[in-house]
Structure 1
């Protein structure tokens, strides 16, 4: 939990400083994930920022996934309307390559130095504020015994009852790498490592 607080604290400091350097803008537009992510991020980061900076409004625009966020950034390339975007690192890498994300100004806040080294990926104009975990969830009333392997996703008993995240969602990419390795391949993992998106 301390690691999470450290990362969120640095994210809050970065948000504070980024806004301060944006010529004290009246409104900061933040795009991120909906649902529980929006609820938790608003409580942990946005609300403390609003209290500390009552003259600056923060608009949180929820977007279903990083691919859609990238599409929005592309559409606004000529007239950007988003100040801060929270997206998957794989998609942020594409956004960086397309010139849609400005480089991080390391002088903006000393708190960027508080982030774990894994929060930075070469070739990405951004820093991480969360770490994701890929997990297998199951309905304990309907799935017995509990799955002990990813192979359960291909069990005929559960045909048409399995939901998985799709690429380019970071969890979809991770699951693709797992499935590739289970099938005896190594190409996906090697490509991801070469691109810096897999440790």
Structure 2
């Protein structure tokens, strides 16, 4: 895991400090809650579905959304600000939540502080992380339907001969770490024993790869028709595709995918801990969770939320996809994350 954060420069972490636009102008004397979360379409949906309703319910406070590129940047910021946190509430993938909890960067949350905690299933309020599951997503193939009219059906399509120099594989983060267990299973292995089979399959795709980089992001490259196919996230692919009809789409391959969990966390040492817990409770409410699912195509974690079948199928891919979904041991993944990233860099990207 150390390698995951070390890929971020101190300069990159500091660059995020200034990226904190106010959601609504408020008097400087009002309590200001800083929420750190993913940039782009996630931010837009989060502001509309979570923050705006919270401000209507709590007119005496202000909320700042501080966008980050990924969870690794969040971890770097939490470490950098350990002595004087400027982040109150943080969104992160579960592997980072586990690591940040171990480093005492995140505060525990009780049912008394967050009543909606009781509606989160056991997998979303684990003993090894202090945060709570906020949303679920699936690793997906995201493609340009203008170039590939028929939806790709397999992860092996990343190596399709017709797509030389048209594939984007930003796999030096959670996407690569989540893809490795899927590829390893496809090759007949078990990621807990060895990821060698998955790395071997990933190397087979390398001749098609035009970009391994996280920036410009996959979705930008697809919209610009600089790439035709890539490894991304179902929710973001669907959000961007809906905003740009007839362009990009997301699909879960027939071999299955990985259920990825985003957590919402209270930073240890937050100067607004009580307000932060209130905000987290709001984010986990039935109404907020349903609204975010409708806007962002991320699955809710509150067990009381009931989604229409059409929306549920768009988020989770339907019963057939769910049956093939991998539920990873995120504690194991967290412990091996940094080493896996280094192996991807050394044995796939630089090979």
* 1:178 aligned residue: 182
Q: TM-score when scaled to structure 2?
A: 0.45
Q: Deviation at 1:36?
A: 1.0
The secondary structure found in structure 1 opposite 2:148 is coil
Q: Give the conservation status (yes or no) of the 8 Å contact 1:29–1:58.
A: yes
1:188 Cα offset (Å): 4.2
Write the deviation string for residues 115-173 of structure 1: whole angstroms up to 9, x where unpaired.
Answer: 2333223301100110011121222232255321110112232233212342432x332
| Alignment-derived partner of residue 59 in structure 1 | 64
Deviation, structure 1 residue 193: 2.3
Q: Which runs of 5+ in 2 are unaligned?
A: 1-29, 196-327, 335-351
Q: Is the 8 A contact 2:95 2:330 kept in 1?
A: no
User: Which protein is richer in strand relative to its size?
Assistant: 2
d(CA) in 2 for partners of 1:92, 1:145 = 38
- Match for 1:72 among 61, 71, 77? 77
Structure 1 residue aligned with 2:100: 95
1:129 aligned residue = 134
- TM-score between both structures, scaled by the size of structure 1: 0.77
- Specify whether residues 187 and 166 from structure 1 end up closer, same or farther in structure 2 by C-alpha distance, changes over 3 A only: same
Task: Report 1 or 2 for greater relative contact order, CA contacts < 8 Å, sequence distance ≥ 6.
Answer: 2
Q: What CA distance in whole angstroms lies between the structure 2 residues aligned with 1:85 and 1:79?
A: 15
3-state SS of paired residue (2:167)? coil
Distance 1:188 1:38 in 2: 34
1:82 to 73, 78, 87: 87
CA gap 1:53/1:172 in 2 versus in 1, 3 angstroms: same
**Aligned counterparts of 1:107 and 1:130: Cα–Cα separation in 2:** 21
- Distance (Å, rounded) in 1 between the aligned partners of 2:51 and 2:31: 15
Question: For residues 141 and 188 of structure 1, what CA distance do their matches in structure 2 show?
Answer: 39
